[in-house]
A and B are shown apart, each in its own frame.
Chain A
Amino acid sequence: MAAALQVVAVLAGAPLVMGGMRQVRARLEGRAGGGIGQPYRDLRKLLRKQQITPQGTTVVFALAPAVAAGSTLLIAAIVPLIALGSPLDSAADLFGVVGLLFLGTVALTLAALDTGTAFGGMGSSREITIAALVEPTILLAVFALSIPAHSANLAAIVSAAMQNPGQVFSPGSVLAFVALVIVTLAETGRLPVDNPSTHLEVTMIHPAMVLEYAGPKLAVVEWASGMRLTVLLALLANLFLPWGVAATDPSALGVLLGLAAITVKVAVLASVLAAGEVFIAKLRLFRVPELLAGSFLLALLAVTASSFLATTTQ
């Protein structure tokens, strides 16, 4: 039940997260902003528009939005957001989650290549460049977190952190947190890696890949990218601040508490992220690998620190 609620909450909450982040940004810029509900209006309108299939595209282009949205929803079902112990718990392994994330990325890059446009190919090549640097960092960072828990299972990591709250402030954990924040920004196409609100095709990464989508398919793509951001923020929050996550086989009250806790955590993280974005500019594309290499180094240090500390305390 909790897993089903997680999927529904991510589906319904993702536009709210996007709208909230735009609203925070608008207020800090002195604007009034479109309001938190603007993404809902945009999605509703897109779903009513004509579907255009560009000439020469194949089934890859047609299926990519569904694959991207489906893989994100599957992640939402298996990771411990509201409660531990989802029905797919044995698959809630950090390698599985990273693989699912990459599946969504690859589906959209192939779709962009499928359109045969210049910007689509350019966006795909950039996205894959970044993904190739991001995926090992996510793996290493969560690996650093899995050493104290003695398991790569996400539910096991979260419950270990709940039993031992002091561990959150260990050097390995703090380093892994910083590394994970940077790769989350890169993976979801936020500043300083990619600008989600740009109109200039030459500076785009993620938006360049979806330039040919229209109508309902564009709605699915935008919804999927919002859900991706929501799931990653929620996972980030629960890996480091697992308070409020309901235990296995939770009561209705526990599920409600878990839902409230994750809502508050994601709202705070998203607001901080949006406020931080006001102060930074997009990095030059050739500087992005330096940033990601830095986060990889942090993740590597996190693994070293946590394995060293784990052996000395035993």
Chain B
Amino acid sequence: MSWIGKIRRVGRIVEPAQNAPETTIAPPTGVTGSLQLRHVDAGSCNGCELEITGAFSAVYDAERYGARLVASPRHADGLLTTGVVTHNMRQPLLNTFHAVPEPRVVIAVGDCACNGGAFADGYGVVGPVGDVVPVDVEVPGCPPTPQQIITALRKVTGR
């Protein structure tokens, strides 16, 4: 019974929704408010993963804007990629990209995914995500805050 009391005491912990940002690209299928994403870690330090987890947590709740992480690229409308692309992850990233049914978007999260960041000249690095697959939306930051990630997601979902 203490759980019921806890649910009542805590109530809603979600941050109030801000005004929707201007959409920079049209929703991939023309349906607003529905975006399933497959997360691909192409060689990240896991800092961005923590912030993505935060964005989908109870506090930031990206689900209320229609965004959701899914288990299979076949179910997805796009990729959420983090980190520089390493030699070992180049082919898996390409495979995942081609497994996503069209139309699809690619969202690059973090400085590493956008321009290489701290690992730009590493010996095991192919380059930023944009060198391997076409990137539609970039989220700069090392790591970007959950709020920044959500703003980028809302630009795509249009909600």
Contact = CB atoms under 8 A, between A and B. Distances in A.
A26 to B, nearest CB: 7
A212 B10 CA distance: 39
Interface string B18-50: 000000000001111110100000000000000
A279 B3 contact: yes
B28 to A, nearest CB: 8
Contacts of A215: 101
Given A29-B58, A30-B11, A279-B3, A41 B71 contact: no
Nearest to A217: B74
A200 to B, nearest CB: 8
Range for the number of chain A residues in contact with chain B:
20 to 34
Contacts of B77: 45, 49
A214 B11 contact: no
A211 B72 contact: yes
Nearest to B39: A199
B10 A30 contact: yes
A58 interface: no
B138 interface: no
Contacts of A49: 29, 77, 101-103
Contacts of A26: 61, 63
Nearest to A27: B12
Interface string A272-298: 000000110000000000000000000
Of A32, A38, A200, A207, chain B has the most CB atoms within 10 Å of the CB of: A32
Given A38-B34, A44-B34, A31 B64 contact: yes
A207 B58 CA distance: 23
Nearest to B38: A199
A38 B12 contact: no
Interface string A19-51: 000000011111111110010011011001111
A249 interface: no
A28 B6 CA distance: 10
Nearest to A211: B72
Interface in A193-214: 198-201, 204, 207, 211-214
Nearest to A198: B71
Nearest to A39: B34
A77 interface: no
A214 B29 contact: no
Contacts of B58: 29-31
A30 B71 CA distance: 24
Contacts of B69: 199
B71 A204 contact: yes
Nearest to B35: A45
Contacts of A32: 12, 14, 17, 61, 64
B142 interface: no
A300 interface: no
Contacts of B133: none
Contact of B74 (A31, A38, A52, A279): A52
A66 B44 CA distance: 41
A175 B61 CA distance: 40
A35 B64 contact: yes
B7 interface: yes
Interface of A: 26-35, 38, 41-42, 44-45, 48-52, 198-201, 204, 207, 211-215, 218, 278-279
Interface of B: 3, 7, 10-14, 17, 29-34, 36, 58, 61, 63-66, 68-72, 74-75, 77, 99, 101-103
Closest 8 CB pairs of A and B: A214-B74, A45-B31, A50-B101, A41-B34, A30-B13, A32-B64, A211-B72, A50-B102
23 contacts: A28-B7, A30-B11, A31-B14, A31-B64, A32-B64, A34-B33, A34-B64, A34-B66, A34-B68, A35-B64, A38-B34, A41-B34, A49-B101, A51-B101, A52-B101, A199-B69, A199-B71, A204-B71, A207-B71, A211-B74, A211-B75, A214-B74, A214-B101
